Amino acid sequence: MTSRRHLTSSRVAGDGSQPIVSLRSASFGYADRPVVAGATLDIHAGEIVAILGPNGSGKSTLVKGLLGLNNHLAGEVSLFGTPIDGFRDHARLGYVPQRHTLSASVRATATEIVAVGRLPHQGLLGRTSHEDRRIIEDSLALVGLADRATVDVSTLSGGQQRRVLIARALAAQPDVLIMDEPTAGVDRASQEVLGQVLARLAGRGATMLIVTHELQALDGVLTRIVQLDGGRVTFDGTPADYNRSHHAQTGGHDGHHHDDEAPLASPAAGPLDHISHLPADRLHVHRRVGDRNA
Amino acid sequence: MSIAGWVTGMPEILTYDFMQRALVAAFLVGLAAPMVGVFLVQRRLSLIGDGMGHVALAGVAVGVVTGQAPVLTALVFAVLAAVVIELVRARGRTSGDVALAVMFYGGIALGVVVIGTSVDGTPTNLDSFLFGAISTTTDTDLKVFAALAFVVVTLTWALRPRLFAVANDEEYARATGMRVTALNITLAVLTAVTVVVAMRVVGLLLISALMIVPNATAQLIAGSFRSAIRMAVAVGVVCSVGGVTTSFYADTPTGGTIVLLAIALFLAASSYSAMHNRIAGRRHLEAELHEHEHGPDCGHPAIEHDRHVDYLHDGHHHAPHEGHYDEHDPLKTHDDQVRH
């Protein structure tokens, strides 16, 4: 599938209005212990979703579940319309793991790390082609590291290393980027640049699923916020809705409780119902609205 | 000096059949061991080859006692140990470390006891496997070694990008659908085969050194994984072939000579790299603590300057260097300001 376009949603749009990620009462966890329980969620092309929640709320477990890194225990999960158990096209999910440092046990240049992203597109004995090299260079340029391509990654700052990992995910030419805490624990300059990188990707119509607890760095980029607490979805809506409900929560009387008051505009139905409140100037709104009854 | 050597002008060492075989065997081991070893270093499993050597000893003993070829039985034991090691590691239990220790010491103890039961089971017999006995390599041995070394080198080279990916970030590799456990078992089996091939050259107790030390040397000097792997193989071949040659003329045990040579090169590389860093540190001037990161759209004019880019920042020329920026003098050349 070398003809894939780089991180644009148009290809997925061609698949019809099928969600990229679809969860129905899904549970994920380790061994038989569910960490995320009963999550229902649809994510469509072009959406930029922050997954928020306190430590231990199941944010990482949720995205790792989508990547097949833990056990899918219950409910239905499909990726690009394929049930997760039969999903094999892993390169469509661009994973940016949470890493504070890249392994420094041996030398490796930024290019060498990013080249790993191309492996799913190469045969077992395949080698890096000219096309691969071009994509690797483009990916590094997209995260603003073109001038560090041949530098040993262990000499880069934490934020730069994080961007190398984003470039690695981009090199796989995925349909959705799944990032685990991309802005956590990096210095201010890097956080700013990371914000710019994410905005640049958003401008290209990339679909992103970002686990975070720092909304500030993602200001203006997000189209949707999903909040988890205790392994359950407690809010799902636009950033504007989130701010309103957040103010209500912190200023209101029952600020400690979180299970049912979070979505201000919500009737008792499933958490997905907020998606119709997305700002109309965003792409793909029509599709999301059309999917409400999914 | 033999007559043949005098006639053909060959160096004396090449006039003996057993030394020719020894040199070929040394070359094969010098090639294969660092190539496999780099992934062990990358996975922080530098001592795993040592453990496999322990288990291989039990295999050798069983071979000696049952009259089978020790190389074959050692291969079976080492490969089984490799698979068990990876399965234990894949389960990720904290007790895995202890399980491996039990297996490794069990291997060496079993080897010693089993060989004690054999009729001609003398300590000398065991010594040749523990410390290497390269000059006793037979033609058949050499053919087996060559075939095994060929398999190790070819497979490692072919799987190199994937072995790198898995060793670098196992979780990411898994998320992209790579068969991580299968690749890890493959690497462990390749390590086991290398241990057996190297057994006669450097001995079971010193094998790990030839897998690890040339890589440690290369890591001090190389700038990329690709160049490090090449350098390690070059160092490995130089040490093993050089060690055999040295041991021939100096009349020293081969395995020990090879490893001492490898360590000497490592020490030389360390002092070179320490000196280089000190000089480079003195020669380049770091810009003030920099809260801003330069890039294509940072707003600061980028100036192409002698093979790199300087960003013009409040009248200063800032050149990206590793994680920081260097203060550059626009009138000097690149080499005058940074030395990599």
**Which CATH number characterizes residue A200's domain?**
3.40.50.300
Cα separation, A28 vs B51, whole angstroms: 37
Q: What is the dihedral of CA A184, A189, A192, A194, to 10 degrees?
A: -60
Instruction: Give the mean pLDDT of A94-111.
Output: 85
Closest CB to B175 among A68, A109, A155: A68
In degrees and rounded to multiples of 5, residue A152 shows phi and psi of -60, 125
Taking contacts as CB-CB distances below 8 angstroms, the residues of chain B near A116 are 161, 164-165, 168-169, 172-173
The answer as to whether A167 is a domain residue is: no
The maximal CA–CA distance of chain B, rounded, in angstroms, is 85
The residues facing B312 across adjacent strands are B317
Domain presence at residue B310: no
Question: Would residue A4 count as lying in a domain?
Answer: no
Q: Is the residue at A190 inside a domain?
A: yes
Q: Which of A68, A156, A190 sits opposite B322 (nearest CB)?
A: A156
pLDDT of res. A5: 43
Is the residue at A150 inside a domain? no
CA distance B84 to chain A (A): 22
Within 8 A by CB and 6+ apart from B37, the residues are: B49, B210, B211, B212, B214, B215, B232
Burial of B262 (0-12, 13-18, 19+ CB in 10 A): buried
Token pair for residue A170?
A: 């981009």
Q: Report the percent of chain A where pLDDT is more than 70.
A: 78
Percentage of chain A exceeding pLDDT 90: 48
Establish if B150 belongs to a structural domain. yes
Q: Is residue A107 part of a domain?
A: no
On whether any CB of chain A is under 8 Å from the CB of B281, the answer is no
- Classify residue B299: in a domain, yes or no: no
Q: Is A284 within the bounds of a domain?
A: yes
Whether chain A has a CB inside 8 Å of the CB on B178: the answer is: yes
Tell me what pLDDT residue A189 has: 79
pLDDT digits (tens, 9 = 90+) for A136-166: 999 999 999 999 999 999 988 888 899 999 9
- Between CA A269 and CA B318 the distance in angstroms is 56
Longest pairwise C-alpha distance within chain A: 63
By the 8 A CB rule, do B175 and A67 touch? yes
- Rounded to whole angstroms, the Cα distance separating A175 from A5 reads 9
The pLDDT tens digits along chain B (340 residues) read: 445 445 567 788 888 888 888 999 999 999 999 999 999 999 988 889 999 999 999 999 999 888 888 889 999 999 999 999 888 888 776 667 788 889 999 999 999 898 888 766 565 567 888 888 887 778 888 898 899 999 999 999 999 999 999 999 999 999 999 999 999 999 999 999 999 998 888 898 888 999 999 999 999 999 999 999 999 999 999 999 999 999 999 999 999 999 999 999 999 999 999 998 888 777 666 665 565 666 666 666 666 665 566 666 666 667 766 666 676 666 665 555 544 4
ipTM of the prediction: 0.81
Count of structural domains within chain B:
1
Chain B environment of A102 (Cβ under 8 Å):
168-169
User: Which H helix or E strand runs over B275?
Assistant: helix B254-283
User: The domain containing residue A38 runs over which residues?
Assistant: 10-100+176-290
Q: Is the CB of residue B236 less than 8 Å from the CB of residue B28?
A: no
In chain B, which residues have their Cβ closer than 8 Å to the Cβ of A172? 176
On whether residue A93 sits in a domain, the answer given is yes
pLDDT at site A291: 38
Rounded Cα distance between A167 and B172, Å, is 13
B13, two tokens? 């060492």
Q: Is there a contact between B177 and A155 if contact means CB atoms under 8 Å apart?
A: no
* Sequence letter at residue B39: F
Strands (E), chain B: 302-305, 308-313, 316-321, 324-328
Residue contact B169–A196, C-beta within 8 A? no
Sort out which chain A residues have CB atoms less than 8 A from B226's CB and list them: 112
Q: Could you tell me if residue B230 is inside a domain?
A: yes
Please check whether residue B69 is in contact with residue B63, taking contact to mean a CB–CB distance below 8 angstroms. Answer: yes
Residue A222: phi and psi, rounded to 5, are: -70, 145
pLDDT band at A205 (very low <50, low <70, confident <90, very high): confident
B63 in any annotated domain = yes
Q: B18 by DSSP, 3-state: which?
A: helix
CA distance A291 to chain B (A): 28
Answer whether B58's CB lies under 8 Å from B107's CB: yes
Residues paired with A140 in a beta bridge: none
pLDDT in tens, A56-65: 889 999 999 9
- What does the pLDDT read at residue A70? 92
SS (H, E, C) B167-180: HHCHHHHHHCCCCH
- Nearest CA-CA distance, residue A245 and chain B, Å: 35
Instruction: For residue B169, give how far its alpha carbon lies from the nearest alpha carbon of chain A (Å).
Output: 8
Please give the tally of structural domains in chain A: 1
DSSP state of A152: B
Q: Which of A116, A136, A160, A165 to mutate to test the interface with B (most CBs of B within 10 A)?
A: A116
State the Rg of chain B over Cα: 25
Q: With 50 as the cut, is the pLDDT of residue A252 above it?
A: no
The per-residue pLDDT for B33 is 96
Full domain range(s) for residue B45? 3-251
Which tops the pLDDT comparison, B224 or A275?
B224
B138 domain residue, yes or no: yes
- The torsion of the CA quartet B258, B190, B36, B259, rounded to 10 degrees, works out to -10
Give the residue carrying structure tokens 């707003």.
Answer: B299
User: Is A95 in Cβ contact with B169 (below 8 Å)?
Assistant: no
CATH of the domain at B75: 1.10.3470.10
**Considering only CA atoms, which of B161, B104, B127, B143 is closest in space to residue B21?**
B143
Residues contacting residue B297 through CB under 8 Å, at least 6 positions apart: A144, A196
Residue B163 lies in a domain: yes
How far is the C-alpha of B306 from the C-alpha of B308, rounded, in Å?
6
Question: How many residues make up chain A in this entry?
Answer: 294
Residue B8 maps to a domain: yes
Tokens of A37: 């329980």
User: Residue B27: which of B197, B206, B267 has the closest Cα?
Assistant: B197
